[in-house]
Structure 1
């Protein structure tokens, strides 16, 4: 009897070929959607009305500052003589001139927010990238730390994890190793977004899970608090630090939970994901209790569940979303991250919705998508400001406390 199957075996060489093909596709995509030198650039331009709203001053104040030399004259189209609009860097220069940067005061703690769920596919990286860019548009100093070896967030920010990121020099991996760097400054990368820095990831970060697990028995405090201590070495330069952890309960996820001062929990409103979120919350509670016994209790400034991938046309989504509001009346964010073709199309081009420019921004689909993304950003911004003592008086004047 012939015991052989009609299927040829899948060898290591075959797997290597598959990986190589996938890598070539990604590289071709980057060459097509990015600038000719394969580096992403921010193409956003703002007219004087939009710039005035962003800066918090009148259009006349901006023109007066340009007239008296406090601000440079705007760039114009040599053919038409019309203004080309302001870049985000130029808008931030206006904020500096007028003193309207929204930065935290020196005595305020930075917000270290982990977007955490132990299940993949819930919109974690989508939330991290869009939230970081919303805050950068507002003028905050933001750092995104990609802690996930799948490196989706790193890719959206224009880096090919397999080509542009060295695991021994650019990721968290060296910092997690015994005898590694003493600060995280070595891994910080400025991005094409003014005011937004990134610590990238790649597949090599996965090795840290094994090394951490092996070291846990010998030195619990090193493993659990390493990331928190690393963030403390760079926090003076940022208002908000966003952590994108792996979608699993591993050693890096545990260190993220110890490093964060706040949690956002993305949860799609369907039966499977709601059940997964319920299990995540139970696991989170028991995990934090155990971590507390190991290294001291960890309190958070806020923990919020945000409904993601919401489709209002699906009755099940509406029903489960309503149930989530009833089960978590004080813990759900009022804003939601809806399912949108605009997000899918942007992601297909390795972009976010905030990076779309030109005529595409004038469609109704884009405006709706921007509206709910902005709502998520504003609600998160308010939560962050409530953690800063120096903002209390302003929040009271604004009727937000």
Structure 2
């Protein structure tokens, strides 16, 4: 018998590969997650920037500090100068001056999924940057990581392999038969004031099997379990962001049922655009099937966002024009352009909004920040339009 040119790869060799991969992952974890360390937010804002964020003059801030309505500012012990305000302190100012942008109790909580069944389209990047943008504006945000790869969990400073217990900290216990009746058990405060997180880890993948096994017996429970869980916590938040797995599985279907708005990130290249078109077709057919099982589900808005756009590539420009022609009313006006700033920040499990120091004064950083701000401001406006209590202010701003 003729021997094969290439010897077979046995389970033993695969086990060795797995061991080597684990070693690499552990080294990366040691570099990014120092033992005993926790991630912190080092952003500080001078009085002029704080005044802009609060919507009041810097004189009013100083007057409030002088008369005791605000605590005295932090000062550098070396020179006695103001050392800047933290985001938590800015939110205290907003509270004192009545400029927090929270929705009113009669406004519906925004449950927004950043969803595409294809991976690598910028989904988790968008979730993290949008959450932090909204937090900078003063909104109360909850991020629910529904993806067992746990990229968003890592970006918020948690080591999914060490800091997250699948039996206590993720969505997994909630999805099991006889699980908790509320999602409060899984909520974690983050180092970002105003952002809470329900983390994920690899154990969440088991929920796919449990959902599939239970679907035949109780489809309504499976389809609306996440939706009902969000109902149990929504009163604490203005915006709940969902980061689903990049696949058409039971968790993704649960996200589609739980969300009341969708943003679909789609890079302008042939493969990703084709995948997005298939996603939209599958989503339409899937929602019809889900409606038969558990009732129709409407969305406040569904928008397609061009991500990873490179103006220097003629193919990107051509496909972007085609996207606008095919989806004239559905494309977001803003575009998230390809930027090394995002990649470099992500390499250190960070975001562009967290960067400090001399690097934030470069033109590259300013351009990237402008792209992100434009995308996130457009989404913020869409969200505010769903809140009747904001309509009067939007009319005054000429936005409604």
Corresponding residue for residue 250 of structure 2: 251
Corresponding residue for residue 73 of structure 2: 74
Corresponding residue for residue 355 of structure 1: 354
Secondary structure of 1:227 counterpart: helix
Aligned residues: 398
Tell me the alpha carbon deviations over residues 241-265 of structure 1, each in whole angstroms, 9 at most, x when there is no partner. Answer: 0000000000011110000000000
Tell me the alpha carbon deviations over residues 144-170 of structure 1, each in whole angstroms, 9 at most, x when there is no partner. Answer: 000000000001111111111000000
| Equivalent residues of 2:33, 2:159 under 8 A apart | no
Structure 1 Cα separation of the partners of residues 29 and 189 of structure 2: 22
Structure 2 Cα separation of the partners of residues 175 and 121 of structure 1: 28
Corresponding residue for residue 131 of structure 2: 132
Structure 2 Cα separation of the partners of residues 147 and 31 of structure 1: 22
Secondary structure of 1:242 counterpart: strand
Q: CA deviation at 1:394?
A: 1.4
Equivalent positions of 1:1-400 (< 5 A) are 1=1, 3=3, 5-6=6-7, 9=10, 11=12, 13-31=15-33, 37-400=36-399
CA 1:164–1:240 in structure 2 vs 1: closer, same or farther (change >3 Å)? Answer: same
Comparing 69-78 with 234-243, which one deviates more in the overlay? Answer: 69-78
The TM-score with structure 1 as length reference comes to 0.97
Structure 1 Cα separation of the partners of residues 49 and 24 of structure 2: 41
| Equivalent residues of 1:45, 1:87 under 8 A apart | yes
Q: CA deviation at 1:306?
A: 0.2
Structure 2 Cα separation of the partners of residues 397 and 55 of structure 1: 18
Q: CA deviation at 1:7?
A: 6.5
Q: CA deviation at 1:3?
A: 3.3
Q: CA deviation at 1:75?
A: 1.0
Structure 2 Cα separation of the partners of residues 170 and 136 of structure 1: 23
Secondary structure of 2:232 counterpart: helix
CA 1:172–1:8 in structure 2 vs 1: closer, same or farther (change >3 Å)? Answer: closer
| Equivalent residues of 2:334, 2:371 under 8 A apart | yes
Secondary structure of 1:375 counterpart: helix
Structure 2 Cα separation of the partners of residues 90 and 392 of structure 1: 28
Structure 1 Cα separation of the partners of residues 343 and 387 of structure 2: 35
Structure 1 Cα separation of the partners of residues 369 and 188 of structure 2: 27
| Equivalent residues of 1:30, 1:38 under 8 A apart | no
Q: CA deviation at 1:31?
A: 3.9
Structure 2 Cα separation of the partners of residues 241 and 176 of structure 1: 18
| Equivalent residues of 2:290, 2:296 under 8 A apart | yes
Q: After TM superposition, which residue ranges in structure 1, 4 or more long, deviate above 6 angstroms?
A: none
Structure 2 Cα separation of the partners of residues 167 and 374 of structure 1: 34
Structure 2 Cα separation of the partners of residues 78 and 398 of structure 1: 42
Structure 1 Cα separation of the partners of residues 18 and 370 of structure 2: 43
Tell me the alpha carbon deviations over residues 357-391 of structure 1, each in whole angstroms, 9 at most, x when there is no partner. Answer: 11111010000000010011110000000001111
Contiguous gaps of at least 5 residues in structure 2:
none
| Equivalent residues of 2:164, 2:200 under 8 A apart | yes
Q: CA deviation at 1:6?
A: 4.7
Secondary structure of 1:113 counterpart: strand
Secondary structure of 2:264 counterpart: strand
Q: CA deviation at 1:8?
A: 6.1
Q: CA RMSD in A?
A: 1.3
Structure 2 Cα separation of the partners of residues 248 and 174 of structure 1: 21
Structure 1 Cα separation of the partners of residues 68 and 2 of structure 2: 87
Tell me the alpha carbon deviations over residues 55-109 of structure 1, each in whole angstroms, 9 at most, x when there is no partner. Answer: 0000000000111111111111111111110000000010011010000011001
| Equivalent residues of 1:267, 1:307 under 8 A apart | yes
Secondary structure of 1:394 counterpart: helix
Q: CA deviation at 1:26?
A: 2.3
Contiguous gaps of at least 5 residues in structure 1:
none
